[in-house]
Amino acid sequence: MATTESPAERAPVDDARDELQAAVPEAAATLRSLLDAEDERVQIRAAEAILDRAGVTKAKQTSTAVAKRDVSGEHQDTGLPF
């Protein structure tokens, strides 16, 4: 059951959180519009920000030896434990 707080009981951080939450649609629209910016660097940064917030992560880096083993199924004697 939700409790009703009086304005005196409400913490300033609650007010700030509400203000930020209300700005989310405008912020999202701004990022979306930046995908069409003339500067490709701006487009990339906007796309990365959107993907990051959507939970899409960057691929992890892997060594060429590991990638070759993974692709070919062969184990090379690299001295590595895998």
For 9-54, the pLDDT digits (tens) are 789 999 999 999 999 999 999 999 999 999 999 999 999 999 999 9
Q: What are the respective helix, strand and coil percentages of the chain, to the nearest 5?
A: 55, 0, 45
Closest CA to 42 of 57, 28, 30, 27: 30
pLDDT over 90 (residue 77): no
Q: Please give the average per-residue pLDDT across 55-61, as a whole number.
A: 78
φ/ψ of 24, rounded to 5, equals: -60, -50
What is the predicted pLDDT for the residue at 19?
Answer: 96
Round to whole Å and give the CA distance between 62 and 70: 10
pLDDT over 70 (residue 82): no
